[in-house]
């Protein structure tokens, strides 16, 4: 084996193979995307990312990975030639040739180690960047136009969206690369080792016939027959893997609900029912796990037997030629190795069948998810118009998803000085009317005029976000601690910090740690910062305070403290910056008062209060409404409630009749 020649040949080989591979890969992707369902699914999820018009880097990285894959194949070929040289030197008792082979091996092995490390880094960087992009893409679509809410109205609501965004994206990206690299490696290797085997194999005499280059034909026949059987045996794994993900997600979801509703369940002492549900869901997981085990035993058993038989097969075929001295020991060993390589490469498709099954299931889930988002967007939307701060309904008809009439032809206008109270029997459609006004309810016709962004909806059980009390008070203004994370520039900043930290740059590591703290929220004992130092602009917490920002932060803090006192939550002032699960700590009445605080801080043009005082006594209810009327005289107020005490704070009432009639009447509140 001549080193210079090997280098020259390798250069030529790489150039040719690269050109051919790129062309064939592009044609295959095009063909798959056009003619197979899963190819189309793949394309719809990836086309944008690899579009050079958006960014040339992903495609360049992919081409580099392809090149490194070919380098790996070429190294395998060189090692195969090397093994021939080495075994021949042993057979001929040629010590100088043997030591030269050892030196050559040291060089080849060094290149191999270097290539493996470089490939690892580039592939990991590639998958992480791809995952960041895809996550952002799906998250953006999921949040856009309230798809996360509206998908519930689809005929087939999407199950476990959290799993699809968090886990399936990671799996999809990982497996796309692993499978693509595997396929390219297998195909190029197959080609290269077929050539080697072709030159080494001789004719086979069987049944009075001579088969030239028998070894090549035998290995192909062997693997093709094995693959056909393996596909048959492995096919049910596609469905089983799909079910595995779904059952696990369902089980996890039931566990999360137990935690979310722990208090209600504990009051009901509902452990038995919850336990039965959890065990039943876990039962599905386990039943399916056993089905996977049994099917995998058949599948793996078949694959292993085929691989074991392939170990001795080439020796049996070539033994006669070796003993009759037609080939050397080096040739025999290289034949066995080339056969093994070829068998491995061709078997890639058989062995990767279950990975491919999982991959198809992941593709199905991600495509189902994007489809559901698109369908949710296509759901009808009421016509919502913005005319300054005007609030009016014109010929509004609202129905249930089943088509039952809740409200027919409602027209009214609400003025700031004349708050409206919506009343009616339970289930008559009061909350649904608010949903329609918010633009969330697909099943309505007519026109809604309301302030575009400047409207606040308070429900009976206020939503308290993850974070501090201050975050809860200012919600939904962008949460200070999370603001960094939602912006692409900051994501990049974090990536850079992560990248730098990997190289041990201390400054950047600090930056990463502070970003992570912001992201995760810290424990109560570490997260309380002096009120004066923090504020809604608190992502400046880690940085040196800018005087203008500090002034603004102080103003926010003082206002928040004042509002807490006004809504009779003065005892919480010291804990304004404590990150905790406030939804659990505060009583429902306190949460409702916090929501009134939110209303006072937001000063919206219109406010919709859906039984927002249901957990307060009449004195508190009176105090809260008086506060709002006094502090927000320009805010248009619409309330939903059953209590007659509410009438005192409203000028008019809209009474829904219910019972599917769609009838309503407007009367004075007094
Ligand atoms: N997502 C949904 N899918 C199907 N039906 C729904 C959905 N949301 C509401 N409904 C139905 O619409 C009707 C009106 O519900 P809504 O919550 O508006 O009543 P409500 O007047 O606010 O009742 P309550 O006073 O008890 O709060 C009910 O019959 C309810 O079952």
- In this predicted model, what pLDDT tens digit does every residue of 559-609 receive, in sequence order? 889 999 999 999 999 888 888 888 888 999 999 999 999 999 999 999 999
Q: Is residue 201 part of a domain?
A: yes
Verify that 364 and 388 share a domain, yes or no.
no
> Which residue from 561, 576, 563, 565 is spatially nearest to 527, judged by alpha carbons?
576
Verify that 434 and 292 share a domain, yes or no.
no
Q: Is residue 538 part of a domain?
A: no
- The tokens describing 48, both together, are 């944008």
480 vs 476: which has the higher pLDDT = 476
- In this predicted model, what pLDDT tens digit does every residue of 271-304 receive, in sequence order? 888 999 999 999 999 999 999 999 999 988 998 8
Reported confidence tier of residue 503, pLDDT bands at 50, 70, 90: very low
Verify that 287 and 348 share a domain, yes or no.
yes
Q: Is residue 568 part of a domain?
A: yes
Question: Which residue has its alpha carbon closest to ligand 1 atom 6?
Answer: 400
pLDDT reading at 529 higher than 50: no
Q: Is residue 527 part of a domain?
A: no
Residue with tokens 């021939």: 84
Q: Is residue 494 part of a domain?
A: no
In this prediction, residue 624 carries a pLDDT of 94
What domain count does the chain have? 2
- Spatial distance between the Cα atoms of 124 and 434, rounded to a whole number of angstroms: 48
Residue that finishes a domain, picked among 319, 347, 378: 378
Verify that 318 and 453 share a domain, yes or no.
no
Question: Which residue has its alpha carbon closest to ligand 1 atom 12?
Answer: 400
Verify that 9 and 158 share a domain, yes or no.
yes
Verify that 364 and 399 share a domain, yes or no.
no
Reported confidence tier of residue 494, pLDDT bands at 50, 70, 90: low
Which of 117-126, 193-202, 208-217, 480-489 has the highest mean predicted lDDT (pLDDT)? Answer: 117-126
75-84, 229-238, 547-556, 618-627: least confidently modelled range: 547-556
75-89, 398-412, 458-472, 539-553: least confidently modelled range: 539-553
From the CA of 433, how far away is ligand 1's center (Å)? 10
Residue 236 CB neighbours (<10 A) = 16
Verify that 474 and 581 share a domain, yes or no.
yes
pLDDT reading at 66 higher than 60: yes
Size of the chain, expressed as the number of residues it contains:
670
Phi-psi map region of 338: left, alpha, beta (phi>0 left; psi -120 to 50 alpha): alpha
The interface predicted TM-score of the complex, written ipTM, equals 0.95
Q: Is residue 490 part of a domain?
A: no
- 624 and 596 Cβ atoms separated by less than 8 Å: yes
Helix (H, G, I), strand (E, B) or coil at 523: coil
pLDDT reading at 115 higher than 90: yes
User: What atom of ligand 1 comes closest to residue 435's alpha carbon?
Assistant: 18
In percent, the amount of the chain with pLDDT more than 70 equals 87
Reported confidence tier of residue 662, pLDDT bands at 50, 70, 90: confident
Q: What is the pTM of this model?
A: 0.73
Q: List, in sequence order, every beta strand (DSSP E) within 150-280.
A: 204-206, 209-211
Domain coverage including residue 610: 382-482+556-669
CATH number where 397 lies: 3.40.50.300
Verify that 352 and 402 share a domain, yes or no.
no
Residue that finishes a domain, picked among 378, 404, 435: 378
Verify that 97 and 161 share a domain, yes or no.
yes
Q: Which residues line ligand 1 (CB under 6 A)?
A: 400-401, 406, 424, 426-432
Verify that 425 and 573 share a domain, yes or no.
yes
- In this predicted model, what pLDDT tens digit does every residue of 326-362 receive, in sequence order? 888 888 888 888 888 877 777 787 667 768 878 888 8
Q: Which helix (H) or strand (E) holds 191?
A: helix 169-200
Mutate to test the pocket of ligand 1, among 396, 400, 643, 664 (most ligand atoms within 8 A of CB): 400
Residue that finishes a domain, picked among 378, 409, 432: 378
pLDDT reading at 157 higher than 70: yes
């Amino acid at each position: 084996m001549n080193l210079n020649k090997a280098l020259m040949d390798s250069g030529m080989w790489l150039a040719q193979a690269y050109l051919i591979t790129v062309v064939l890969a592009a044609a295959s992707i095009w063909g798959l995307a056009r003619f197979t369902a899963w190819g189309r699914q793949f394309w719809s999820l990836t086309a944008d990312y690899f579009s050079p018009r958006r960014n040339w880097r992903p495609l360049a990285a992919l081409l580099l990975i392809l090149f490194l894959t070919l380098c790996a194949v070429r190294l395998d070929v060189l090692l195969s030639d090397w093994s021939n040289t080495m075994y021949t030197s042993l057979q001929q008792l040629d010590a100088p040739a043997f030591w030269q082979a050892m030196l050559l091996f040291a060089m080849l092995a060094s290149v191999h180690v270097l290539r493996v490390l470089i490939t690892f880094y580039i592939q990991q960087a590639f998958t992480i960047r791809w995952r960041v992009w895809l996550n952002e893409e799906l998250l953006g679509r999921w949040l856009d136009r309230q798809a996360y809410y509206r998908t519930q109205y689809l005929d087939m609501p999407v199950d476990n969206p959290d799993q699809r965004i968090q886990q399936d994206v990671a799996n999809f990206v990982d497996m796309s690369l692993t499978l693509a690299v595997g396929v390219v490696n297998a195909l190029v290797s197959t080609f290269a080792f077929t050539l080697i085997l072709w030159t080494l194999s001789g004719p086979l005499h069987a049944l009075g016939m001579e088969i030239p280059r028998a070894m090549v034909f035998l290995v192909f026949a062997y693997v093709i027959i094995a693959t056909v059987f393996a596909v048959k045996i492995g096919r049910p794994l596609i469905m089983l893997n799909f079910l595995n993900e779904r059952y696990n997600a369902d089980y996890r979801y039931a566990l999360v609900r137990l935690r979310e509703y722990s208090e209600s369940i504990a009051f009901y002492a509902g452990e038995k029912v919850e336990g039965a549900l959890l065990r039943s869901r876990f039962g599905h997981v386990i039943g399916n796990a056993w089905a996977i085990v049994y099917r995998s035993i058949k599948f793996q058993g078949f694959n292993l037997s085929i691989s074991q038989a392939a170990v001795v097969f080439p020796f049996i075929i070539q033994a006669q030629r070796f003993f009759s001295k037609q080939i050397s020991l080096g040739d025999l060993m290289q034949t066995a190795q080339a056969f093994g390589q070829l068998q491995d490469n061709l078997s890639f498709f058989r062995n990767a069948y279950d990975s491919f099954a999982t991959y198809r299931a992941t593709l199905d889930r991600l495509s189902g998810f994007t489809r559901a988002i698109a369908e949710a967007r296509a759901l009808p939307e009421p016509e919502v118009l913005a005319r300054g701060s005007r609030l009016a309904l014109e010929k509004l008809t609202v129905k249930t998803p089943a088509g039952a009439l809740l409200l027919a032809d409602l027209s009214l206008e609400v003025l700031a000085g004349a708050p409206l109270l919506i009343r009616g029997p339970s289930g008559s459609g009061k909350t649904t009317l608010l949903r329609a006004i918010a633009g969330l309810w697909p099943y309505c016709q007519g026109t809604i005029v309301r302030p575009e962004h400047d409207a606040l909806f308070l429900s009976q059980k206020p939503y308290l976000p993850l974070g501090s009390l201050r975050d809860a008070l200012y919600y939904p203004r962008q949460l200070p601690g999370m603001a960094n994370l939602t912006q692409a520039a900051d994501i990049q900043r974090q990536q850079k910090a992560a990248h730098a930290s990997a190289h041990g740059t201390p400054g950047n590591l600090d930056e990463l740690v502070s970003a992570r703290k912001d992201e995760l929220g810290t424990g109560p004992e570490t997260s309380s910062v002096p009120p004066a130092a923090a504020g809604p602009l608190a992502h400046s917490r880690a940085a040196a305070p800018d005087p203008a920002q500090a002034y603004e932060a102080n103003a926010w803090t003082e206002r928040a403290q004042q509002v807490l006192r006004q809504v009779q939550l003065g005892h919480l002032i010291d804990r304004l910056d404590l990150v905790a699960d406030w939804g659990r700590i505060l009583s429902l009445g306190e949460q409702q008062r916090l929501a009134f605080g939110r209303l006072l801080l937001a000063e919206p043009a219109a406010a919709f209060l859906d039984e927002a005082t249901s957990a307060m006594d009449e004195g508190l209810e009176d105090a809260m409404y008086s506060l709002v009327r006094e502090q927000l005289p320009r805010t248009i107020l619409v309330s939903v409630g059953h209590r007659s005490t509410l009438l005192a704070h409203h000028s008019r009432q809209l009474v829904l009749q219910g019972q599917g009639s769609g009838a309503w009447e407007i009367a004075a509140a007094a």
